[in-house]
C-alpha cells in the first residue's frame, strides 16, 4: 500500500519527512496541502487530517502520524534506515530535538516572516532578533561537523535529515551556505545521496507555482 504524505513544497518540516521517505525507498506519494490558501486552518482538515492543523502528516495503512521527527522514526522502523547504530540512537534523537528547537524552529519562522508575508507586514525587529538567534546556532553545527561526514556515526541518520530541513531553500533568512564551510561540505554529502531531491522537486508547491496562479 502506498503511503501518503500531506505536504507542500515550501515547508521545511514536510521536507524532512519527504526526504526520509524518498531516500528510504518506501512507496509513497505526496498529497498537496494548500497552506497559503488556509487549508490547514479549516475544520475539515483538522477533523479529517490533523487536529493540530499542521503538516506534514503521514497516512500509512491504518497509521496516521504527524510531526516530522515521529514520521522519520516510523520510516526508520519500516525501512531499517536512518535510525543510526543501536548505541547512537539517543544521540540521533538529541540532534533531532536540538534541530526542532534551535535550528529549524527558528529558521522556519524567520524565512516565513522574511519571504511569505507582504512586505509591509514583515516585523523587522522580530526578524532581526530571530536572525541573531540563528547566528548563534549555526556555529554549533558547523563546529560539530569538523572531521565528520555526518552528524552522528558513519552514515546518514535522521539527525542529518532533520537538521538539513531548511538549509537547501533559496529564499533568504540569514543563512549563507558559503559562510559555513563544514555545513556546506555536509550539505554536499546529503545532495550526493542516491535519490536526493531539492524540496521544490520532491514536493508539490513552490513560490513560483503560487506566482503563476496569481497572474493567471
Could you give the CA distance from residue 106 to residue 78 in angstroms, rounded to a whole number?
A: 30
Contacts for 8 with CB less than 8 Å, ≥ 6 apart: 14, 32, 33, 34, 35, 55, 203, 204, 205
Phi, psi of 58 (to 5 degrees): -105, 130
The full set of domains in the chain, from first to last, is 3-82+197-208 (3.40.30.10), 86-191 (1.20.1050.10)
Predicted confidence (pLDDT) at residue 210 exceeds the cutoff of 90 = no
- At what angle are helices 104-115 and 124-144 packed, to 10 degrees? 140
Residue pair 146/182 in contact by the 8 Å Cβ criterion: yes
d(C-alpha 191, C-alpha 185), whole Å: 10
- 37-92 per-position pLDDT tens digit: 999 999 999 999 999 999 999 999 999 999 999 999 999 999 999 999 999 999 99
pLDDT above 70 as % of the chain: 99
User: Cα separation of 10 and 82, whole Å?
Assistant: 23
If 0-12 CB within 10 Å is exposed, 13-18 middle and 19+ buried, where does residue 186 land?
buried
Three-state DSSP state, 157: coil
Contact 195, 105 (CB under 8 A): no
- 3-class state of residue 29 by DSSP: strand
pLDDT at 215 over 80: no
CB atoms within 10 A of CB 80: 9
Q: Are 127 and 107 in contact (CB under 8 A)?
A: no
Alpha-carbon gap, residue 159 to 69, rounded angstroms: 9
Mean pLDDT of all residues in 8-23:
98
Measured CA distances, 205 to 69, 70, 118, 177, 202 (Å): 22, 23, 19, 24, 10
- State mean pLDDT over 167-182: 97
Question: In which band, very low, low, confident or very high, does the pLDDT at 1 lie, cut at 50, 70 and 90?
Answer: confident
**Alpha-carbon span 89 to 133, nearest angstrom:** 27
Amino acid at each position: 500500500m502506498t503511503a501518503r504524505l500531506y505536504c507542500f513544497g515550501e515547508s521545511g518540516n514536510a521536507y524532512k519527512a519527504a526526504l526520509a521517505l524518498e531516500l528510504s525507498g518506501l512507496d509513497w506519494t505526496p498529497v498537496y496541502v494548500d497552506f497559503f490558501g488556509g487549508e490547514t486552518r479549516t475544520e475539515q482538515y483538522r477533523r479529517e487530517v490533523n487536529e493540530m492543523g499542521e503538516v506534514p502528516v503521514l497516512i500509512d495503512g491504518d497509521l496516521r502520524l504527524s510531526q516530522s521527527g515521529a514520521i522519520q522514526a516510523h520510516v526508520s522502523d519500516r525501512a531499517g534506515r536512518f535510525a543510526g547504530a543501536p548505541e547512537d540512537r539517543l544521540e540521533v534523537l538529541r540532534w533531532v530535538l536540538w534541530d526542532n528547537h534551535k535550528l529549524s524552529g527558528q529558521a522556519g519562522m524567520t524565512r516565513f516572516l522574511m519571504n511569505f508575508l507582504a512586505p509591509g507586514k514583515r516585523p523587522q525587529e522580530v526578524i532581526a532578533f530571530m536572525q541573531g538567534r540563528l547566528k548563534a546556532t549555526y556555529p554549533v553545527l558547523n563546529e560539530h561537523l569538523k572531521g565528520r561526514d555526518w552528524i552522528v556515526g558513519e552514515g546518514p541518520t535522521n539527525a542529518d535529515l532533520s537538521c538539513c530541513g531548511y538549509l537547501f531553500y533559496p529564499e533568504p533568512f540569514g543563512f549563507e551556505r558559503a559562510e559555513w564551510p563544514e555545513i556546506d561540505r555536509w550539505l554536499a554529502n546529503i545532495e550526493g545521496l542516491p535519490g536526493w531531491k531539492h524540496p521544490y522537486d520532491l514536493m508539490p508547491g513552490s513560490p513560483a507555482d503560487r506566482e503563476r496562479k496569481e497572474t493567471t
